[in-house]
Amino acid sequence: MTSQNTLFHGKARVYADARPGYPDAAIAYIGSLIPDGSVIADIGAGTGKCTVPIARYGLDHHCDVRAVEPDADMRGVLLDATCPYANVAVAAGTAEHTTLPDRSVDAIVCAQALHWFDHDAFLAECRRISRGDRFLLVSIYNSTSFDSAMMRGADRGVPGATSDGGAAGSIDATRAAGDSAPQSSEAIAVSPGAADARVAQSSAALAAVSPEDAADIGVSARHFRETAAEFFDHPTIRRFPNPIRYTRDTWRTYMDSHSHSPLPDDPAYPAHRAWVDAIFDERAVDGIMIDDNVTMIASELLPAIPERGRGDDAAVVIRTYDAMPSAAREIRERVFVRERKWRPEFDGWDELGHATHLLAFDGGQAVGTCRFYADPDHADSQPGRYVIARLAVLPDERGRRIGSALLSEAERRIALAGGTLAAVHAEDDRYAFYERRGYQLTDDIYEGGRHGWLIKRLR
């Protein structure tokens, strides 16, 4: 048995009572990815917010669920919640040591949990417990509208926001970052003097709360984005509306359920409660605060045998070409056309002399590709800028850092050619992959932030 107290210890009941669940459409979508008769592992199951609807779905599709949770407090509530479902077994275990048998599951689901896991140890455990050559990994997060406002400040350098996603100063600072939440009708009705006093109270409450507590409200969107890039290679991303209506009491309970929130007997609790109430007072209308929450899902089939019987990462060889080789076309056809549904995929940059193409080989087999070229659109405004594009790795070869090797090699060759700036165009589920490698998202974004340009200074 692997059991440990987590930061949620002592908060299981408020977590079960206040944390939002997941919409039926999201659960049905996850179910559509999993064949009937499968065994599903819910890792970091908490109090069963995802376990129960997955189990309910599984009853109709002959699926069993193995719910793994390390915290005894959370696990106790989980046992009660799953008691009516004969297809659920609860285990005391961690993400890195689930205690599940070898080759025993077909799909692995992580709800609001993946950011707690050790990357290498968790994926190794996934490979151990998976009974096929590949396993389905699904990550699901509720991303609140409050996250969106606060994270825009943290991620884009907006004044009044801290680097860890927590707002600094008054709640109005988050509005400066783009929040459009309505003001309280009560606040509109009071006199200017009372309103000023109220803002001062809110600011004082925000200033008194710990940075960890303040950060905890604004990170789920970032957690989803970063884990989608870290644990997946080319995930499929889906979004499902999941709006929430809070009263003051349900908002208080929700905020008490967070990992860094102090327990009621903690000396810091009064300041925490004042901060929570200040947020509600600032945002509620007629006693109701609406959160336009969105449920985000990332999924991908990953190899259970990471190296597929060939060499290790050091064995990968990268070669250059003046035109797109046929092997690169095959890789891009598979990744961008079949997986990502991009059309048209091929263009003039693939022709002889227009770009440099890199092809990664392992044991004589082409496994990944990218291309780079001097950026003609910024030749005057940003001389020395190059574009790195069409970075793709075959599905069975992902998780071996081949994409990172291709990116590094492209940057090295750009620098040798006199380039000083590398630019990549990416979809939002890939931003964190590049950000962890030194790239910064620019203001050149579109389609609601789902596509954008990132740049990295090379010297």
Are 297 and 378 in a shared domain? no
Is there a contact between 105 and 7 (Cβ–Cβ < 8 Å)? no
Residue 152 tokens, joined? 């825009």
Are 298 and 311 in a shared domain? no
Are 360 and 223 in a shared domain? no
Are 139 and 237 in a shared domain? yes
**Confidence (pLDDT) at 279:** 84
In a domain, 260, yes or no: no
Q: Residue 68 maps to which CATH number?
A: 3.40.50.150
Q: Is 140's pLDDT higher than 50?
A: yes
- Cα gap 297→141, rounded to integer Å: 7
Is there a contact between 433 and 268 (Cβ–Cβ < 8 Å)? no
Are 399 and 451 in a shared domain? yes
Lowest mean pLDDT: which of 83-92, 161-170, 355-364, 444-453?
Answer: 161-170
Are 135 and 42 in a shared domain? yes
Are 238 and 330 in a shared domain? no
Q: Tell me the per-residue pLDDT of 436-453, one tens digit each, with 9 for 90 and over.
A: 888 999 988 877 767 899
Each residue of 34-55: b (16+ CB within 10 Å) or e?
beeebbbbbbbbbbbbbbbbbb
> Which residues does residue 369 pair with via DSSP β-bridges, in sequence order?
359, 392
- Cα gap 93→447, rounded to integer Å: 41
**Confidence (pLDDT) at 428:** 85
Q: Tell me the per-residue pLDDT of 82-91, one tens digit each, with 9 for 90 and over.
A: 999 999 999 9
Neighbours of 274 (CB within 10 A): 16
Is there a contact between 295 and 23 (Cβ–Cβ < 8 Å)? yes
Residues 6+ apart with CB under 8 A from 85: 52, 55, 56, 59, 65
| DSSP string over 65-93 | EEEE---HHHHHHHHHHHTT-TTEEEE--
Give the pLDDT band (50/70/90) at residue 10: low
**Confidence (pLDDT) at 215:** 38
In a domain, 294, yes or no: yes
Are 318 and 431 in a shared domain? yes
Best CA proximity match to 252, nearest among 7, 17, 46: 17
Give the pLDDT band (50/70/90) at residue 297: very high
Q: Residue 322 maps to which CATH number?
A: 3.40.630.30
Residue 387 structural domain: 306-457
Is there a contact between 239 and 449 (Cβ–Cβ < 8 Å)? no
In a domain, 325, yes or no: yes
Q: Tell me the per-residue pLDDT of 207-235, one tens digit each, with 9 for 90 and over.
A: 443 444 433 445 778 888 888 888 887 88
- Cα gap 161→168, rounded to integer Å: 5
Q: Is 55's pLDDT higher than 60?
A: yes
Number of domains in the chain: 2
In a domain, 31, yes or no: yes
In a domain, 186, yes or no: no
